[in-house]
Structures are given as C-alpha cells and as structure tokens.
Amino acid sequence: MAFNPFIFVVLTVSLLPSFTLSRTLLSETTTHTNLDVSASLQQTQAVLNFGPQTLNSLDQQQQLEEEVQTLIYPNASYFSCLYQVSYGDGSFTVGDFVTETLSFGNSGSINTIALGCGHDNEGLFVGAAGLLGLGGGPLSLTSQTKASSFSYCLVDRDSGRSSTLEFNSAPPADSVTTNLLKNSKLDTFYYVGLTGMSVGGQAVSIPTSLFQLDASGNGGIIVDSGTAITRLQTQAYNSLRDAFVKLTQHLPSTSGVALFDTCYDLSSQRSVKVPTVSFQFSDGKSLQLPAKNYLIPVDSSGTFCFAFAPTTSSLSIVGNVQQQGTRVSFDLANSKVAFSSNKC
C-alpha cells in the first residue's frame, strides 16, 4: 500500500466573529524529545514510492488534454468548457469546468461556485474524492466564498478521526504566530517569513537568503497542505540533515529509502531519544515539531527516516507531514498565520 499524503477533511462552518491572532512567544527550552517507536509502527506503513512520469513540456500537456477531450467528447461539437491542471508531483486532473451551488450543512449555501468535475484524475489522487483549493488564487474556495479566515488540523496518519477545516474560528491561545508574506507575481501560495531552523536547541548554519522571497517573485517558503514532505533548497537541507545526524550518532543508521537519504534501523527499540527540530520565524518565534513529524516509519520492519528532502527549486515548502497534529490558522484579513500543536 503506497503512502498517500492527501488528507481527508471534514468541512465545518463556524459563524464566529473575526479575531485577532495571539502573539504568544514560545521560547525553545528543550534540546531532545522522545519518539515512541512502538506506537509509530502501528500506523499503516509504506515507502513513498510513487514515481510519476511528469509532464515535461507544454506539448505533452496539450497532447494529454486533446487525448482526454477525445475520450470524453468524441464529437467536438458537444465540447463546452474543459479544464486541465497538472501538479508538481506529476499528478493531473482533467474534466468539465462548471459552476454549482455549494451547501455547508445547515449553515446555508452559496450560488455559482466555480469548480472542476474531473473525468480523468491520475497520480496521487488515488482514494481521494476530490481536491479542495484553499490558496489565495481567485478560483480557490476561500476566495470565492470571501473568507476572511480559516484553519485546518491534519490528524496523525494513524488516527481514525477525520481532519477538520473551519472558517471564522479563533486560533488556540497558545499559537505561535507570524506574518504571511505576499508574492506580487503569484497569489496562490501562502509564504511565511522563515529565517532558519534549529536542531537540539541550536541554530543550524543556514543563510537566511535561502528562505527569502525576492522582488521577482522567486524563492521564499510556503505552507502547503497538499505537499507531503517538507522540501528545502539543497544547501539548507544538507545543513539541517548534517546537524541532525551529528546528534543521532547513538542511533543505528541504515540505507536511504526513496527520497530519504538519512534513515535508521529502530527495529529493536521501543522508544528513542532524538534531538528537537524547530522552525525559526522572522519575528523571533520558534515552532518545535513533534518527533513523529520528522522521524517517520517507512516500512513495518522498524526503518525510520528523517522526513525532509532537498529540492533544486528556489521555492521551499513546509509539507503536511510536518503539519500533522498542528492547527494551522490563516488570518487572511490581517496577513497572519498561527500554529498550535496538539489542537486537532
């Protein structure tokens, strides 16, 4: 069974008034934390082994669209409005672009919401009923419903509960907050001001420029619920990995798995002590990650891997594995984002 990074959510609507995000400052006081190996191995385990054949050119994308259009609409005169979207991992969806009335349980409905009715959904969409767009673009659900705020909490991989999505609800009082940054060239992504990372309570030597968004709209780091593993520019990733390896020499190492190059054989362990890993934001605040969000099992035999990966892109991404168990609240009206652990 392949590991599926897509998370199912239950949509709940709250009619609470607008809010101001807490500015609680949490200082990092611990250098190590415990990872419960036994509990982690009870999860549905698998290797991240999906290797899509990505669409390498506009010609290939056009060919795909024409093939699907022919499949769905053998008589071109019946064709009305077809959409086709490709994603960075090679997944794609093609189908009808339509408008529909969207209902929120007993909280009412909204007319003329634009959405795609997919006829050919391939890649990491397996097992998912659809894809809910929460970005800043004009066709996202948040933009079309004119939401001023929303939050989600992605439950742990082994949880039997559903993840939740809420609109207009206040974040937990202990949230770590930071500013959302705007990219004038691209309005879809939610950029954050990350200045660095720490391992074992010590700052990792990473140039801050590697996380900065330049005037041309390149670089920066985004928070994305649709990407599984956090991707960092290669130089930043290498520094983070090396700092982690230096403090885990007491753990038996093993060969890399799939996109992970730093793995450990914890088959004989029930619990292990690992260094803390934290994100450092531009306003001096720190978000410490749970150990199970950065040292994850990739099989049922006790192989655990450091759950970060390098990218040659100038854009870095905080993925959903690192967000699991954390309520992420977006105050769109005030350009703030808040993180609070164990608030699902």
- Quote the pLDDT of residue 60: 44
The CA radius of gyration of the chain, in Å to the nearest whole number, is 21
Q: Mean pLDDT over residues 38-49, rounded?
A: 47
- The number of beta carbons lying within 10 Å of the beta carbon of residue 72 is 15
Q: Which of 160, 103, 115, 106 is nearest to 141 (CA)?
A: 115
Whether the Cβ atoms of residue 104 and residue 132 lie closer than 8 Å to each other: no
Residue 226: which residues within 8 A CB-CB, separation 6 or more?
Answer: 5, 6, 87, 131, 320
- Quote the pLDDT of residue 288: 93
Q: Mean pLDDT over residues 40-47, rounded?
A: 45
Instruction: Summarize pLDDT for 8-32 with one digit per residue, the tens.
Output: 333 333 333 333 333 333 344 578 7
List the structure tokens of 141: 């659900």
With a cut of 90, say whether residue 79 has pLDDT above it.
Answer: no
Instruction: Summarize pLDDT for 80-108 with one digit per residue, the tens.
Output: 689 888 876 678 889 999 999 988 777 77
DSSP-derived pairing of the beta strands 303-306 and 295-297: antiparallel
Q: What DSSP designation does 76 have?
A: G
- CA–CA gap between residue 95 and residue 288 (Å, rounded): 41
Question: What one-letter code names the amino acid at 127?
Answer: G
- Quote the pLDDT of residue 39: 62
With a cut of 50, say whether residue 181 has pLDDT above it.
Answer: yes
| 62 three-state secondary structure | helix
Q: What DSSP designation does 140 have?
A: S
Output the DSSP codes for 282-340.
TTS-EEEPPGGGTEEE-SSSSEEEE-EEEESSS-EEE-HHHHTTEEEEEETTTTEEEEE
Q: Mean pLDDT over residues 66-87, rounded?
A: 59
What's phi and psi for 261, nearest 5 deg? -105, 0
pLDDT band for 185, please (50, 70, 90 cuts).
confident
Instruction: Summarize pLDDT for 204-230 with one digit per residue, the tens.
Output: 999 999 999 998 899 999 999 888 889
Helix, strand, coil shares, percent, the chain, to 5: 15, 35, 50
Whether the Cβ atoms of residue 115 and residue 131 lie closer than 8 Å to each other: no
Q: Which of 82, 26, 89 is nearest to 53 (CA)?
A: 89
